Amino acid sequence: MNILILGGGGREHTFAWKLTQSPLCTQLYIAPGNAGTRQHGINVNLSPEDFPALKTFSIDHKIEMVVVGPEAPLVKGVYDFYKNEEELKHIAVIGPSQEAAQLEGSKAFAKKFMHYYRIPTAAYREFTVENIEEGIAYIATQPTPIVLKADGLAAGKGVLILDDIEEAQTEFKAMLNGKFGAASAKVVIEDFLDGIEFSVFALTDGKDYVLLPMAKDYKRIGEDDTGLNTGGMGAVSPVPFVDDALMEKVEERIVEPTIQGLNDSGMVYKGFVFFGLIRVDGEPFVIEYNCRMGDPETEVVLPRLKNDLVELFMATENNTLREHTIEKDSRTATTIMLVSGGYPEAYTKGKVMTGMEKVRDSLLFHAGTKTENGQVLTNGGRVMAITSFGNTIEEALALSNKNAKTIQFEGKNYRRDIGEDLISGQSKKKLKRT
């Protein structure tokens, strides 16, 4: 079948790599793609949010399946767009409906949903300019740190965690006065949860689900989790501290009621649910939902998935996921993200990349790259994910770190400590940072 992937980052390159391993995929297109996706299909210079252009392309190229990478087109309603058009409605779209995508698109919606279905999450209140004074007074009564969240999508910047009440009140006012534009016209204030984070991924047809390998990502730019938040600097799968007992609680208290809740409320959902979780005193809580796969989590999750992904997507479309069992590679996968100097603040693009041909024993998933005159150039903040396997985290990291050094471009930056917190004390001492 002809498949169209929407997006152009490391997640989408990993989808392209995985989908083209299936004999069911005849032709793959990626809109817009990057220098890496070109190895697996045809890049199409279209925006994932330009629905009329996607329509023409899908008809002209007899697309039978659309796999949506990022959240923006989902929150904008790409699923519904395809399903409401006579000439497109036969196409399988992997993603939730616009209504269900609010699980990511609106923090207040997600909190209300969790509250209604009794899914464990931090206690919260929501405010708009209408009750701004009430919000300011509420903050004064709260213990610190205070968590402020812009309701809508804010490019990963909409969450502020503040130790000072007055600063929290100032930021709260700034948010309601447009600090993040329309995204912060509503603000959620929630209790701070102190624990360790991990991510769980389900693929659902709306009724049943399968669980993919879990992962932990590293969001801060600096080593030892310091500095600004980024889209993600690396990831590890599986996560050693998430044992069977914790996973059982996650499924019973979080995954099952979420899927059941979506089903009960009549929301159409045929795609990934990304559960951003935190373990507090041994108990799992939801920090956030995303309505798509994570990036760079995908770069470690899909390499560990042994199933044919096109088959799983067809089952998602046909409501037959229950007939499928997920098979995983038992090894550990790690990925290290190479980023442009300056990221996540201002950075320059267009740097020539070299050394890729010298890489052995790792998978290279391109993120912000493009091809020009036969050369690969940097074209974004996050540039390339280097994924490796090992029988232990140490083994996998040694390969990812070695190859992170092999690839060169001006201003290259990456974290040398990805996964180190997951390594037991004894072996950690032996691990030398290079």
* Residues from 380 through 399 that contact ligand GLY (CB under 6 A): none
| Interface pick for ligand AMP out of 64, 80, 99, 190 (rule CB under 6 A) | 190
Q: How far is CA 341 from the centre of its chain?
A: 22
Q: Which does 288 bind (CB under 5 to 8 A by kind): ligand AMP, ligand GLY, none?
A: ligand AMP
| Interface pick for ligand GLY out of 8, 48, 294, 344 (rule CB under 6 A) | 294
158 near ligand GLY, judged by CB under 6 A: no
Size of the site for ligand GLY (CB under 6 A): 7
Between CA 261 and CA 253 the distance in angstroms is: 12
| Contacting range for ligand GLY; rule: CB under 6 A; set: 2-10, 129-137, 171-179, 290-298 | 290-298
Q: Which two tokens stand for residue 292?
A: 């798509």
Between CA 304 and CA 327 the distance in angstroms is: 8
Among candidates 223, 344, 207, 215, which has minimal Cα distance to 270?
A: 207
Total Cβ atoms within 10 A of residue 168: 23
| Interface pick for ligand GLY out of 69, 96, 232, 344 (rule CB under 6 A) | 232
Q: Which does 297 bind (CB under 5 to 8 A by kind): ligand AMP, ligand GLY, none?
A: ligand GLY
Between CA 407 and CA 402 the distance in angstroms is: 9
**Exposed/middle/buried for residue 15 (C-beta within 10 Å: 0-12, 13-18, 19+):** buried
Contact 181, 166 (CB under 8 A): no
| Interface pick for ligand AMP out of 193, 211, 246, 356 (rule CB under 6 A) | 193
83-90 CB contacts, 8 Å cutoff, 24+ apart: 85/55, 87/55, 87/59, 88/55, 88/58, 88/59, 90/64
Report the DSSP beta bridge partners of residue 372.
Answer: 375
Q: Which does 159 bind (CB under 5 to 8 A by kind): ligand GLY, ligand AMP, none?
A: ligand AMP
290 near ligand GLY, judged by CB under 6 A: yes
Q: Nearest distance from residue 5's CB to ligand AMP, in Å?
A: 24
Phi/psi at 291 (5° precision): -100, 30
Q: Which does 370 bind (CB under 5 to 8 A by kind): ligand AMP, ligand GLY, none?
A: none
273 near ligand AMP, judged by CB under 6 A: no
| Contacting range for ligand AMP; rule: CB under 6 A; set: 189-197, 253-261, 312-320, 390-398 | 189-197
Residue showing the smallest CB distance to ligand AMP in the complex: 288
217 near ligand GLY, judged by CB under 6 A: yes
C-alpha count within 13 angstroms, C-beta hemisphere, residue 329: 17
CA distance to 157, 165, 167, 211, 222, per residue, from 150 (Å): 9, 18, 16, 29, 24
C-beta closer to ligand AMP: residue 226 or 330: 226
Size of the site for ligand AMP (CB under 6 A): 12
Contacts of residue 238, Cβ cutoff 8 Å, sequence gap at least 6: 213, 214, 215, 304, 332
Between CA 152 and CA 134 the distance in angstroms is: 21
- The mark string for 120-159 relative to ligand AMP (x by CB under 6 A, - otherwise) is --x------------------------x-x---------x
| Interface pick for ligand AMP out of 71, 104, 126, 288 (rule CB under 6 A) | 288
| Interface pick for ligand AMP out of 75, 78, 287, 363 (rule CB under 6 A) | 287
99 near ligand GLY, judged by CB under 6 A: no
The site for ligand GLY (CB under 6 A) is made up of 217, 231-232, 290, 294-295, 297
The site for ligand AMP (CB under 6 A) is made up of 122, 147, 149, 159, 161, 190, 192-193, 197, 276, 287-288
